[in-house]
C-alpha cells in the first residue's frame, strides 16, 4: 500500500467506525498493510509499515494514540519476523497475533466501563472534559443500571467536542449541562469527582489529553475532588515529560498547523497532567495508581 492508500483506508475506517479509538484504527491499518503487502521480504514489509505510520501521522488527528498503538504493534506483533523462516509463515502469524491483539483491545473498553461504573453512585455529580468514548460509554452503562446522576461537560475549545459529548449524553437521557471552559472553577465545588479520558499515558503515570485537562486537574486538587482517568492500556507510551514544553511537537500541534513557523502563536491541542494530580487510572489491567503505570511499562518493555 502506498501512502495515499494508507491515508484513505485510515480516514475511511475512522469515519465508518465512529466508536473506535484512533489507536485501534491505526493498528487495523497496519494489519491491512501486512495483508496487502506484495513483495516477499521482511525488510521491505518493515519499511512499508513505518511509512504507513508516518503517513497516518500526517492526518489531522491526535498523534498520541496513533504513536503508542503503533509502537506496541511494531514491538510485539512484528516480533514474529525473528521466529519464522519463510515469509508466508511469518505473515500468517503476524496477522493471527494482530487479530488476537485487536480483539483484546475491543474488549478492553468494556472492562474499564465495568470497573468505572461502580464509582458512579446515585445522586452524584460528575465533571468531564471534552469527548472521550470510554467516558461516554461508562455514563451510558451507568444510566442503564438505573443510576441517577448529573454530568457537567466542558465545551472544550477549540474544536468544541464537548458539545457533541453533550448531545450524545442527552440522546441517552442522561441529564447533562454544557459549561464554559472558563467555568471549571465555578462548577468544581459542586461536583463529586472528575472523570476524563486520555490520549496517552506517559511513563510517570501522568496523562496527555485534550488541552484544559491540566487546568481541571489543578482545580480538582485545590478543591480536593478526586480526579479519575479512564484509559485503555494500549495508550501507555514510553515518554517521560517533565513539563509541558517537553511534550513532542507532533503531539501538541496538528500537521496542518505545523506549516506555520512560529509555534508560539498556535495553541497546543494537548497538555500534560502530572501524576501527582491524578487520583486513579481505570484501565483494562485494573484500577491503577499513577505510579503503577510505570511498573506495568517496565514489565512490558524491559
Partner 1 sequence: MEKKDLKVNGDGLSKKQRRALKVQEKLKVQNNAVNTKENSPNCQVEKKQESKKSKTAERTEVKPSTQLTEKELRKLEWEKKLAAQKGEDGEKNKGLTKAELRAQRREQQEAQRHAKAATKPEQKPQQEPVELKKPLAANKTPPKKIEKKKHPEMRRLQIVSHLYAEAPLNNTIVNYKNVHPAFVRLGVQYSTKKILGSNARCRALLIAVKCLINDLQTPPKQEFCRYLEQILQSGVDYLQSCRAFAVSMSNALRHFKLKLQEATTLDDSDKKETLLNNINTYISEEIDKAGEAINAHRQKKQFEVIVVDGRPFLEGRQMLQRLAHIGIHCSYVQINAISYVMGLATKVLLGAHALLTNGFVMSRIGTSQVALVAQAYNKPVLVCCETYKFSERGQTDSFVYNELGDGDMLTSVDTLEETSPLIQTRNDSNLQILNLLYDVTPPDLITAVVTELAILPCTSAPVVLRIKPTDLLNFKI
Binding site for partner 1 (CB under 8 A): 203-205, 238, 240, 242-243, 275-276, 290-291, 294-295, 297-299, 301-302
Nearest to 126 by CA among 107, 112, 143: 143
> 3-state class of 28 per DSSP?
helix
For the bound state, the minimum distance from the C-beta of residue 56 to partner 1, rounded and expressed in Å, comes to 26
Report how far residue 64's alpha carbon sits from residue 103's, in angstroms, rounded to the nearest whole number: 21
Rounded Cα distance between 99 and 166, Å, is: 34
Decide: 95 and 104 in contact? Cβ < 8 Å: no
- Least Cβ distance, residue 233 to partner 1 (angstroms): 16
Q: For residues 39 and 246, which CB has a smaller minimum distance to partner 1 in the complex?
A: 246
| Residue in this structure with the C-alpha cell 472534559, named with its chain if needed | 129
CB of 288 to partner 1, least distance (A): 12
29 or 273, CB closer to partner 1?
A: 273
Which of 69/290 has CB closer to partner 1?
290
Nearest-approach distance from CB 242 to partner 1, in angstroms: 4
Q: Which is nearer to partner 1, 82 or 302 (CB)?
A: 302
What would you measure as the largest C-alpha separation in the chain, in angstroms? Answer: 63
Q: How many residues does the chain have?
A: 302
Q: Is the CB of 171 or the CB of 302 nearer to partner 1?
A: 302
Residue of 214, 117, 116, 113 lying closest to 156 (CA atoms): 214
Report, in Å, the least distance between residue 130 CB and partner 1.
Answer: 26
Residue 214 φ/ψ region, left for φ over 0, alpha for ψ in the -120 to 50 degree band, beta for the rest: alpha
**CA distance to 268, 273, 277, per residue, from 205 (Å):** 21, 9, 10
By beta-carbon proximity to partner 1, the closer residue of 27 and 201 is: 201
In angstroms, what is the minimal distance from the CB of 94 to partner 1? 26
Amino acid at each position: 500500500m502506498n501512502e495515499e492508500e494508507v491515508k484513505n483506508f485510515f480516514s475511511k475506517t475512522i469515519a465508518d467506525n465512529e466508536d473506535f479509538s484512533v489507536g485501534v484504527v491505526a493498528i487495523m491499518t497496519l494489519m491491512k498493510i501486512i495483508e496487502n503487502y506484495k513483495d516477499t521480504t521482511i525488510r521491505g514489509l518493515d519499511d512499508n509499515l513505518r511509512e504507513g505510520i508516518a503517513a497516518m501521522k500526517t492526518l489531522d488527528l491526535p498523534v498520541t494514540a496513533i504513536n503508542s498503538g503503533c509502537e506496541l504493534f511494531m514491538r510485539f506483533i512484528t516480533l514474529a519476523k525473528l521466529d519464522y523462516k519463510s515469509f508466508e509463515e511469518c505473515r500468517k502469524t503476524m496477522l493471527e497475533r494482530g487479530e488476537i491483539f485487536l480483539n483484546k483491545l475491543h474488549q478492553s473498553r468494556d472492562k474499564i466501563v465495568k470497573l468505572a461504573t461502580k464509582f458512579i453512585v446515585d445522586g452524584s455529580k460528575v465533571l468531564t472534559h471534552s469527548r472521550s468514548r470510554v467516558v461516554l460509554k461508562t455514563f451510558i452503562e451507568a444510566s442503564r443500571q438505573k443510576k441517577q446522576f448529573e454530568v457537567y461537560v466542558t465545551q472544550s475549545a477549540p474544536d468544541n467536542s464537548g458539545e457533541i459529548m453533550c448531545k450524545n449524553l442527552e440522546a441517552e437521557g442522561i441529564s447533562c449541562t454544557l459549561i464554559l471552559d472558563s467555568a471549571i472553577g465555578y462548577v468544581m465545588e459542586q461536583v463529586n469527582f472528575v472523570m476524563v479520558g486520555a490520549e496517552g499515558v506517559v511513563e510517570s503515570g501522568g496523562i496527555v489529553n485534550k488541552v484544559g485537562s491540566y487546568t481541571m486537574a489543578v482545580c480538582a486538587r485545590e478543591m480536593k475532588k478526586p480526579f479519575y482517568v479512564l484509559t485503555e492500556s494500549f495508550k501507555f507510551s514510553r515518554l517521560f515529560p517533565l513539563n509541558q514544553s517537553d511534550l513532542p511537537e507532533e503531539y501538541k500541534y496538528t500537521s496542518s498547523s505545523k506549516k506555520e513557523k512560529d509555534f508560539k502563536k498556535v495553541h497546543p491541542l494537548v497538555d500534560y497532567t502530572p501524576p501527582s494530580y491524578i487520583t486513579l487510572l481505570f484501565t483494562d489491567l485494573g484500577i491503577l495508581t499513577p505510579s503503577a503505570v510505570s511498573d506495568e511499562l517496565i514489565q512490558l518493555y524491559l
